[in-house]
Protein backbone atom coordinates (compact mmCIF):
# COMPACT_ATOMS: atom_id res chain seq x y z
CA UNK A 1 0.00 0.00 0.00
CA UNK A 2 2.79 2.39 0.93
CA UNK A 3 4.59 1.70 -2.35
CA UNK A 4 1.36 2.37 -4.28
CA UNK A 5 0.84 5.69 -2.51
CA UNK A 6 4.41 6.75 -3.20
CA UNK A 7 4.02 5.90 -6.88
CA UNK A 8 0.86 8.00 -7.12
CA UNK A 9 2.53 10.90 -5.35
CA UNK A 10 5.58 10.67 -7.62
CA UNK A 11 3.36 10.57 -10.70
CA UNK A 12 1.47 13.63 -9.50
CA UNK A 13 4.71 15.51 -8.87
CA UNK A 14 6.02 14.56 -12.30
CA UNK A 15 2.83 15.76 -13.97
CA UNK A 16 3.08 19.09 -12.19
CA UNK A 17 6.66 19.46 -13.35
CA UNK A 18 5.60 18.80 -16.92
CA UNK A 19 2.79 21.30 -16.70
CA UNK A 20 4.88 24.01 -15.03
CA UNK A 21 6.84 25.06 -18.15
CA UNK A 22 3.59 25.65 -20.01
CA UNK A 23 2.48 28.07 -17.34
CA UNK A 24 5.50 30.23 -18.07
CA UNK A 25 4.43 31.05 -21.60
CA UNK A 26 2.46 34.24 -20.97
CA UNK A 27 3.36 37.66 -22.32
CA UNK A 28 2.84 41.36 -21.75
CA UNK A 29 1.77 43.96 -24.32
CA UNK A 30 2.35 47.63 -23.47
CA UNK A 31 0.64 50.45 -25.36
CA UNK A 32 2.04 53.79 -24.21
CA UNK A 33 2.17 56.36 -27.04
CA UNK A 34 3.24 59.10 -24.63
CA UNK A 35 6.15 57.05 -23.19
CA UNK A 36 4.96 57.74 -19.65
CA UNK A 37 5.49 54.21 -18.31
CA UNK A 38 8.56 52.44 -16.99
CA UNK A 39 8.39 49.30 -19.14
CA UNK A 40 10.96 47.41 -17.09
CA UNK A 41 8.95 48.00 -13.91
CA UNK A 42 5.78 46.79 -15.63
CA UNK A 43 7.57 43.68 -16.87
CA UNK A 44 8.73 42.90 -13.34
CA UNK A 45 5.27 43.48 -11.88
CA UNK A 46 3.62 41.31 -14.53
CA UNK A 47 6.14 38.47 -14.31
CA UNK A 48 4.23 36.42 -11.69
CA UNK A 49 1.15 36.61 -13.91
CA UNK A 50 3.16 35.75 -17.01
CA UNK A 51 4.52 32.70 -15.21
CA UNK A 52 0.91 31.65 -14.68
CA UNK A 53 0.37 31.87 -18.44
CA UNK A 54 -1.46 35.21 -18.39
CA UNK A 55 -1.60 37.40 -21.48
CA UNK A 56 -1.24 40.83 -19.88
CA UNK A 57 -2.09 43.99 -21.81
CA UNK A 58 -1.49 47.51 -20.47
CA UNK A 59 -2.90 50.55 -22.27
CA UNK A 60 -2.15 54.15 -21.28
CA UNK A 61 -3.58 56.47 -23.94
CA UNK A 62 -4.22 60.22 -23.97
CA UNK A 63 -7.91 59.87 -24.87
CA UNK A 64 -10.32 57.02 -25.40
CA UNK A 65 -13.33 55.13 -24.14
CA UNK A 66 -14.62 51.59 -23.75
CA UNK A 67 -15.11 51.18 -27.49
CA UNK A 68 -11.48 52.17 -28.04
CA UNK A 69 -10.50 49.58 -25.42
CA UNK A 70 -12.49 46.96 -27.32
CA UNK A 71 -10.88 47.96 -30.62
CA UNK A 72 -7.37 47.69 -29.21
CA UNK A 73 -8.06 44.30 -27.63
CA UNK A 74 -9.38 43.05 -30.96
CA UNK A 75 -6.32 44.37 -32.82
CA UNK A 76 -4.04 42.63 -30.31
CA UNK A 77 -5.88 39.33 -30.71
CA UNK A 78 -7.15 39.33 -27.12
CA UNK A 79 -10.80 39.66 -28.09
CA UNK A 80 -12.50 37.73 -30.88
CA UNK A 81 -16.20 37.30 -31.59
CA UNK A 82 -17.03 39.10 -28.36
CA UNK A 83 -15.04 36.55 -26.34
CA UNK A 84 -11.91 37.41 -24.35
CA UNK A 85 -9.00 34.98 -24.49
CA UNK A 86 -9.16 32.67 -21.50
CA UNK A 87 -6.01 33.96 -19.79
CA UNK A 88 -6.22 37.59 -20.86
CA UNK A 89 -5.83 40.39 -18.28
CA UNK A 90 -6.08 43.93 -19.66
CA UNK A 91 -5.84 47.31 -17.92
CA UNK A 92 -6.87 50.44 -19.84
CA UNK A 93 -6.48 54.09 -18.84
CA UNK A 94 -7.50 57.15 -20.89
CA UNK A 95 -5.75 60.04 -19.17
CA UNK A 96 -7.64 63.07 -20.49
CA UNK A 97 -11.02 61.37 -20.19
CA UNK A 98 -10.24 60.10 -16.67
CA UNK A 99 -11.47 56.63 -17.58
CA UNK A 100 -10.07 53.30 -16.43
CA UNK A 101 -11.13 49.71 -17.07
CA UNK A 102 -10.03 46.17 -16.25
CA UNK A 103 -11.04 43.18 -18.37
CA UNK A 104 -10.10 39.53 -18.07
CA UNK A 105 -10.73 36.08 -19.50
CA UNK A 106 -12.83 33.49 -17.70
CA UNK A 107 -9.67 31.69 -16.62
CA UNK A 108 -9.45 34.26 -13.81
CA UNK A 109 -13.11 34.31 -12.76
CA UNK A 110 -12.41 32.68 -9.41
CA UNK A 111 -10.16 35.60 -8.47
CA UNK A 112 -11.68 38.60 -10.23
CA UNK A 113 -15.34 37.86 -10.94
CA UNK A 114 -16.27 36.96 -7.36
CA UNK A 115 -18.63 39.43 -5.65
CA UNK A 116 -17.51 40.91 -2.33
CA UNK A 117 -19.99 43.06 -0.47
CA UNK A 118 -22.03 43.62 -3.62
CA UNK A 119 -19.03 44.59 -5.80
CA UNK A 120 -16.98 42.45 -8.16
CA UNK A 121 -13.41 42.00 -6.98
CA UNK A 122 -11.94 43.42 -10.21
CA UNK A 123 -13.94 46.61 -9.58
CA UNK A 124 -12.56 46.79 -6.05
CA UNK A 125 -9.02 46.44 -7.44
CA UNK A 126 -9.79 49.18 -9.96
CA UNK A 127 -10.99 51.50 -7.21
CA UNK A 128 -8.46 50.66 -4.53
CA UNK A 129 -5.28 49.93 -6.50
CA UNK A 130 -5.46 51.57 -9.93
CA UNK A 131 -7.34 54.84 -9.54
CA UNK A 132 -5.45 56.25 -6.50
CA UNK A 133 -2.15 56.17 -8.41
CA UNK A 134 -3.77 57.73 -11.47
CA UNK A 135 -5.03 60.63 -9.36
CA UNK A 136 -1.41 61.40 -8.46
CA UNK A 137 -0.28 60.92 -12.10
CA UNK A 138 1.88 58.05 -10.85
CA UNK A 139 0.99 55.91 -13.86
CA UNK A 140 3.70 53.29 -13.51
CA UNK A 141 2.95 52.88 -9.82
CA UNK A 142 -0.78 52.60 -10.50
CA UNK A 143 -0.29 49.82 -13.05
CA UNK A 144 2.30 47.90 -11.03
CA UNK A 145 0.16 48.07 -7.88
CA UNK A 146 -2.84 46.83 -9.85
CA UNK A 147 -0.89 43.94 -11.37
CA UNK A 148 0.28 43.01 -7.89
CA UNK A 149 -3.29 43.10 -6.55
CA UNK A 150 -4.49 40.87 -9.39
CA UNK A 151 -1.67 38.40 -8.76
CA UNK A 152 -2.54 38.35 -5.05
CA UNK A 153 -6.20 37.68 -5.86
CA UNK A 154 -5.26 34.79 -8.15
CA UNK A 155 -2.83 33.31 -5.64
CA UNK A 156 -5.39 33.59 -2.82
CA UNK A 157 -8.88 33.75 -4.38
CA UNK A 158 -11.40 35.58 -2.17
CA UNK A 159 -14.62 33.81 -1.26
CA UNK A 160 -17.97 35.60 -1.63
CA UNK A 161 -18.24 35.90 2.16
CA UNK A 162 -15.03 37.90 2.25
CA UNK A 163 -12.74 35.11 3.42
CA UNK A 164 -9.69 33.96 1.49
CA UNK A 165 -9.26 30.58 -0.13
CA UNK A 166 -5.54 30.05 0.30
CA UNK A 167 -4.04 28.30 -2.72
CA UNK A 168 -2.33 25.46 -0.84
CA UNK A 169 -2.83 21.69 -0.71
CA UNK A 170 -4.07 20.59 2.73
CA UNK A 171 -2.06 17.89 4.45
CA UNK A 172 -4.06 14.95 5.72
CA UNK A 173 -3.21 13.48 9.05
CA UNK A 174 -5.54 10.56 8.98
CA UNK A 175 -3.34 7.78 7.65
CA UNK A 176 -2.41 6.15 4.38
CA UNK A 177 -5.96 5.88 3.05
CA UNK A 178 -6.40 9.66 3.15
CA UNK A 179 -2.92 10.16 1.69
CA UNK A 180 -3.77 7.84 -1.19
CA UNK A 181 -6.96 9.78 -1.90
CA UNK A 182 -5.07 13.05 -1.95
CA UNK A 183 -2.36 11.69 -4.26
CA UNK A 184 -4.89 10.11 -6.60
CA UNK A 185 -6.97 13.30 -6.66
CA UNK A 186 -3.91 15.41 -7.35
CA UNK A 187 -2.91 13.16 -10.22
CA UNK A 188 -6.39 13.26 -11.74
CA UNK A 189 -6.65 17.02 -11.32
CA UNK A 190 -3.21 17.51 -12.83
CA UNK A 191 -4.08 15.42 -15.87
CA UNK A 192 -7.32 17.30 -16.43
CA UNK A 193 -5.53 20.60 -15.99
CA UNK A 194 -2.81 19.58 -18.42
CA UNK A 195 -5.45 18.51 -20.96
CA UNK A 196 -7.28 21.84 -20.62
CA UNK A 197 -4.06 23.80 -20.95
CA UNK A 198 -3.03 21.86 -24.06
CA UNK A 199 -6.46 22.25 -25.66
CA UNK A 200 -6.35 26.00 -25.02
CA UNK A 201 -2.80 26.20 -26.39
CA UNK A 202 -3.87 24.35 -29.54
CA UNK A 203 -6.85 26.67 -29.98
CA UNK A 204 -4.73 29.78 -29.55
CA UNK A 205 -2.18 28.41 -32.02
CA UNK A 206 -4.91 27.72 -34.58
CA UNK A 207 -6.41 31.20 -34.17
CA UNK A 208 -3.01 32.90 -34.42
CA UNK A 209 -1.96 30.87 -37.48
CA UNK A 210 -5.24 31.44 -39.32
CA UNK A 211 -5.22 35.14 -38.49
CA UNK A 212 -1.69 35.58 -39.85
CA UNK A 213 -2.44 33.45 -42.93
CA UNK A 214 -5.55 35.48 -43.77
CA UNK A 215 -3.63 38.75 -43.55
CA UNK A 216 -0.79 37.41 -45.69
CA UNK A 217 -3.20 36.13 -48.36
CA UNK A 218 -4.96 39.50 -48.46
CA UNK A 219 -1.64 41.32 -48.73
CA UNK A 220 -0.54 39.04 -51.57
CA UNK A 221 -3.60 40.01 -53.60
CA UNK A 222 -3.11 43.69 -52.84
CA UNK A 223 0.52 43.54 -53.95
CA UNK A 224 -0.52 41.84 -57.20
CA UNK A 225 -3.01 44.63 -57.82
CA UNK A 226 -0.37 47.24 -56.99
CA UNK A 227 2.14 45.65 -59.39
CA UNK A 228 -0.42 45.69 -62.20
CA UNK A 229 -1.02 49.38 -61.60
CA UNK A 230 2.73 50.04 -61.44
CA UNK A 231 3.06 49.00 -65.10
CA UNK A 232 1.30 52.21 -66.08
CA UNK A 233 3.03 54.57 -63.65
CA UNK A 234 5.49 55.92 -66.22
CA UNK A 235 2.71 56.96 -68.59
CA UNK A 236 0.46 58.28 -65.86
CA UNK A 237 2.65 60.28 -63.51
CA UNK A 238 5.62 62.64 -63.48
CA UNK A 239 9.09 61.00 -63.23
CA UNK A 240 9.66 62.09 -59.62
CA UNK A 241 6.27 60.65 -58.62
CA UNK A 242 7.09 57.41 -60.42
CA UNK A 243 10.35 57.16 -58.46
CA UNK A 244 8.56 57.89 -55.20
CA UNK A 245 5.96 55.21 -55.88
CA UNK A 246 8.58 52.67 -56.93
CA UNK A 247 10.70 53.17 -53.81
CA UNK A 248 7.73 53.01 -51.42
CA UNK A 249 6.24 49.93 -53.07
CA UNK A 250 9.58 48.12 -53.25
CA UNK A 251 10.25 48.79 -49.57
CA UNK A 252 6.79 47.49 -48.63
CA UNK A 253 7.31 44.39 -50.75
CA UNK A 254 10.65 43.66 -49.09
CA UNK A 255 9.00 43.84 -45.68
CA UNK A 256 6.20 41.59 -46.93
CA UNK A 257 8.78 39.00 -48.03
CA UNK A 258 10.23 39.07 -44.52
CA UNK A 259 6.77 38.48 -43.04
CA UNK A 260 6.16 35.55 -45.41
CA UNK A 261 9.50 33.98 -44.50
CA UNK A 262 8.74 34.35 -40.80
CA UNK A 263 5.37 32.66 -41.28
CA UNK A 264 7.01 29.75 -43.09
CA UNK A 265 9.73 29.45 -40.45
CA UNK A 266 7.17 29.08 -37.66
CA UNK A 267 5.37 26.35 -39.60
CA UNK A 268 8.58 24.49 -40.36
CA UNK A 269 9.59 24.60 -36.71
CA UNK A 270 6.26 23.05 -35.73
CA UNK A 271 6.52 20.33 -38.39
CA UNK A 272 9.83 19.13 -36.97
CA UNK A 273 7.95 17.64 -34.01
CA UNK A 274 5.01 15.36 -34.75
CA UNK A 275 3.69 15.88 -31.19
CA UNK A 276 4.69 19.38 -30.03
CA UNK A 277 4.53 20.01 -26.30
CA UNK A 278 2.50 22.79 -24.71
CA UNK A 279 5.48 25.12 -24.40
CA UNK A 280 6.19 24.80 -28.12
CA UNK A 281 2.53 25.37 -28.99
CA UNK A 282 2.50 28.57 -26.95
CA UNK A 283 5.81 29.72 -28.41
CA UNK A 284 4.54 29.12 -31.94
CA UNK A 285 1.28 30.94 -31.23
CA UNK A 286 3.24 33.94 -29.94
CA UNK A 287 5.42 33.80 -33.06
CA UNK A 288 2.35 33.79 -35.31
CA UNK A 289 1.02 36.81 -33.42
CA UNK A 290 4.30 38.59 -34.16
CA UNK A 291 3.91 37.64 -37.82
CA UNK A 292 0.39 39.07 -37.74
CA UNK A 293 1.70 42.32 -36.26
CA UNK A 294 4.32 42.45 -39.02
CA UNK A 295 1.63 41.88 -41.65
CA UNK A 296 -0.45 44.70 -40.18
CA UNK A 297 2.56 46.99 -40.42
CA UNK A 298 3.11 46.02 -44.07
CA UNK A 299 -0.59 46.61 -44.71
CA UNK A 300 -0.17 50.16 -43.45
CA UNK A 301 2.89 50.62 -45.71
CA UNK A 302 0.98 49.39 -48.74
CA UNK A 303 -2.01 51.55 -47.86
CA UNK A 304 0.33 54.56 -47.99
CA UNK A 305 1.41 53.55 -51.52
CA UNK A 306 -2.22 53.12 -52.55
CA UNK A 307 -3.01 56.54 -51.13
CA UNK A 308 -0.19 58.16 -53.17
CA UNK A 309 -1.68 56.71 -56.37
CA UNK A 310 -5.16 57.82 -55.37
CA UNK A 311 -3.93 61.37 -54.73
CA UNK A 312 -2.05 61.48 -58.03
CA UNK A 313 -5.10 60.16 -59.89
CA UNK A 314 -7.23 62.81 -58.22
CA UNK A 315 -4.85 65.54 -59.38
CA UNK A 316 -4.89 64.09 -62.89
CA UNK A 317 -8.67 64.24 -63.00
CA UNK A 318 -8.59 67.88 -61.94
CA UNK A 319 -5.99 68.87 -64.52
CA UNK A 320 -8.25 68.92 -67.65
CA UNK A 321 -10.71 71.19 -65.90
CA UNK A 322 -7.92 73.56 -64.88
CA UNK A 323 -6.64 73.68 -68.49
CA UNK A 324 -10.12 74.32 -69.87
CA UNK A 325 -10.71 77.18 -67.43
CA UNK A 326 -7.33 78.69 -68.33
CA UNK A 327 -8.25 78.67 -72.06
CA UNK A 328 -11.58 80.42 -71.43
CA UNK A 329 -9.95 83.10 -69.38
The CATH number of 32-155 is 3.10.310.50
Span 83-103, mean pLDDT?
94
pLDDT per position as a tens digit, 259-284 = 999 999 988 888 887 777 777 787 88
Question: With 50 as the cut, is the pLDDT of residue 169 above it?
Answer: no
pLDDT > 90? residue 133: no
Structural domain boundaries of the chain?
32-155, 195-328
Query: Does 15 score more than 50 pLDDT?
Result: no
Residue 100 has pLDDT above 90, yes or no: yes
pLDDT at 182: 52
pLDDT band at 81 (very low <50, low <70, confident <90, very high): confident
d(CA 27, CA 43): 9
Cα 109 from Cα 126, distance rounded (Å): 15
Asked if the model's pLDDT at residue 21 lies above 50, the reply is no
Q: Can you give the pLDDT at residue 322? A: 56
According to DSSP H, which parts of 107-175 are helical? 109-112, 121-125, 131-135, 139-155
pTM: 0.46
Q: Could you report the per-residue pLDDT of 176-192, keeping only the tens digit for each? A: 444 455 556 656 666 77
Assess contact for 47 and 146: CB atoms under 8 A: no
* Whether pLDDT at 95 is above 90: yes
Q: What is the mean pLDDT of residues 137-162?
A: 87
Question: What is the predicted pLDDT for the residue at 14?
Answer: 45
Report d(CA 201, CA 196) in Å as an integer. Answer: 9
Q: What is the pLDDT of residue 319?
A: 65
**CA 224 to CA 174: how far, in whole Å?**
73
Is the separation of the CB atoms in 94 and 61 below 8 Å?
yes
Amino acid sequence: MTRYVLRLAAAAALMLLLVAPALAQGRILITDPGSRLDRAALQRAAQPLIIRGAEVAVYLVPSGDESDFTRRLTQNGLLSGGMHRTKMIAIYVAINDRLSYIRYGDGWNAALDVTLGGTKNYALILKQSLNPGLSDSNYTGAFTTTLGAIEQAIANPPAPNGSINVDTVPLAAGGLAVAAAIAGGALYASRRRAARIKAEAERQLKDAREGAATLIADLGQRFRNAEEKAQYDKVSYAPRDVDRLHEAQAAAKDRFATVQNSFDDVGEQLERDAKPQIAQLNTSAAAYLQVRDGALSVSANLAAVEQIRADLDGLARQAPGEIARAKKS
